[in-house]
A and B are shown apart, each in its own frame.
Chain A
Amino acid sequence: MNQIVKKDILAVLENVLSALKEKDYSALGELSNHVIHDASIFQDDDSVSFAILIYALSKTLQRCVECGVQFTKFESLLAEAHESLKNDSDEIYKSKIQALFSVIQSADDKLKLYIEEVIHKAKIKKGSKMHEHGISVARTAEILGISQWELMTYIGKTWGPEFVSDDDVKKRIVVARKLFV
């Protein structure tokens, strides 16, 4: 694993464990964005899957509260993931992340949350963040294994700022107009 990614995942994992202790599940959604910088720069499986996992976890835990269901496995698995990463046991860390995804999926029956949909939405949300960071829609869709159709319709409703001058607008319309004379 890339050492910078490892350092950042460790820092976020510590914050995630603190948030879980305080039962501040909504904080996880924001924490999942903290590795998006890495996901955008390195475009590696570790930071991408970690961002998706933490976002999906935040949705799952919020649903647990609504349904009055308790899941204790998350915290212990996250602590184990943290410990293994700290000890440079990357393969064990990866197996813990896989186990966390499995536990989230197993929560489906009790929570009626359509976990596949939660994970899919997590990919789209994190994809929109990566696009905000300057990665094209097509490239982002490729990294996350989602379609450009889904990403475009989501991004259209979220991101606005652009460097533009009035001249650009005029020039482009003039070009288009000449094509269809």
Chain B
Amino acid sequence: MFMKLLIFDAGPVISLTTNNLLWLLSPLKQRFKGDFCITEAVKKELVDRPVQTKKFKFEAIQVEQQIESKVLKVLKQNDFFVNGARLQSLANNIYRTNFGSVPIVQRGEMESLAATILLDADAFVTDERITRMVIEAPEPLRQILEKRLHAKITINDDALHELEEQTRHINIIRSVELITVAYEQGLLDKFIVGLPNARKELLESVLWGAKLNGCAVGEQEINQILYLESKRII
């Protein structure tokens, strides 16, 4: 039987947890009617490491609770490791300076991307701007690198084309899109209070919360989402 899947990178789970919105995953999963998955490397970043610290221990416990209650499923290591290494090698060899390639991504996030491709998941949920841009907007990322690094950056077309080929069919969403859908479906209605423009204020507050806790979303995009939601013109 065909199983629906969403693969989560660490970022969106961090954004949701630090905004006290991790509980949204359970009702969203019910509506999704499929599995929400993370790789073992992502679990390590979300739970195993922070639970050893003081600062994010409680956040790690909350994520572990989502795993134990089977809202988040941890994918056992298999081909993701090998394919993640290949994707990492491709992405890290796309942008070149006179001194060599600039490594821009890490293995763990590429394993999540590999899982998305290998399992033909419905979407890859990531808040990471760089990962998203290397897949969706490699030229603007080249411009950012060139401007920031004060170095001539060229693109390795072979590596880029192979990465494009492998990621051609994947959908990418962020925590802000999950939050927006949760808002549309009334999952946040309990927070509609007696303030003027309560619905708009609520959506604005949760979108900004996600941004301020690391989701790569611009102010202009938040305003655009607020506008679209107010008009429901999509």
Contacts and interface: CB of A to CB of B under 8 A. Distances in A.
B148 interface: yes
Contacts of A163: 133, 137, 140, 143-144
Interface stretch (A70-78, A96-104, A142-150): A142-150
Contacts of A147: 45, 49-50, 53, 56
What 5 pairs between A and B have smallest CB-CB spacing?
Answer: A152-B214, A176-B177, A138-B106, A163-B140, A136-B130
B228 A175 contact: no
Interface of B: 4, 6, 10-11, 14-15, 18, 28, 31-32, 45, 49-50, 53, 55-56, 59, 95, 97, 99, 102-106, 108-109, 122-123, 127-131, 133, 137, 140-141, 143-145, 148-151, 171-174, 177-178, 180-181, 184-185, 211-221, 224-225, 228, 234
**A interface, how many residues as a size bin?**
35 or more
Contacts of A141: 106
B145 to A, nearest CB: 4
B219 A148 contact: no
Contacts of A135: 102-104, 130
A176 B99 CA distance: 40
A82 B18 CA distance: 43
A41 B151 CA distance: 9
Interface of A: 2, 4, 37, 40-43, 131-139, 141-142, 147-153, 155-157, 160-164, 166, 168-170, 172-177, 179-180
